[in-house]
Chain A
């Protein structure tokens, strides 16, 4: 079956039916842009299977260039990327160029590390991974065993500068 000619949703259906899920031991720990604490990103096992198989996922650039249009009560409009909400009072979020998800040829197989780098760009705000002015990284990739065993004080976690 030539998946390259299929819509993204059809490729996802095919992957779900034919690939064994891959539970990754890698996590991405990052500081939320609003300074409200630490988040931990976990790759989805079915997504990781598709990433490592190749032929299913669009290039990450497609997500980075997705444009969403928002409007407010004053009738003003603004455009954001697909993971950024412009703030209170803005509604809609219509994707203007969603066809790119389907038309751009899917990517070749990725290693687990490459897949994590892809997810960082896709699902973590740009201000976290693209901040060139900060004097320390705002995220780290860790093995799951490196996370604190207890999550009781998770809301107080910080990323050590030594990390």
Chain B
């Protein structure tokens, strides 16, 4: 079944939202991976491959490219006793329309492998 509409409106408040806005705000790509041992994706969407670039360093590629390299990219890492943060790195491995790279870092900003690494991209698709 297909519902064709331009806006969605809340019955009680009459607040409305353009369908185009709704589509643009939805994540277009996401990935959850096991970053320890032989790394592998647990689940994903619009993901073609992931690449182990080294200690705590990962790269992700999309199936449907983004419209440009200016999409929003975010994530999180964790799963060990150490506090782990996520860093999206544009200096050593700059982002393109299909590829983005990121680090899992401990609290001293040292890269380390993490059991749970999540990433997602939001933006307009090509």
Contact = CB atoms under 8 A, between A and B. Distances in A.
Contacts of B45: 12, 16, 46
Contacts, number: 139
B79 interface: no
Contacts of B40: 23, 42, 45
Contacts of A57: 63
Nearest to B48: A47
Size class of the contact patch on chain A: 35 or more
B116 interface: no
B126 A95 contact: yes
| Interface residues of chain A: helix, strand, loop or mixed (majority) | mixed
Contact size range, B? 35 or more
B80 to A, nearest CB: 14
Interface string B23-61: 000001001000001111101111111111111000101
B69 A92 contact: yes
Given A93-B96, A93-B97, A98-B126, A12 B64 contact: yes
B125 interface: yes
B69 A68 contact: yes
A42 B49 contact: yes
B48 A44 contact: yes
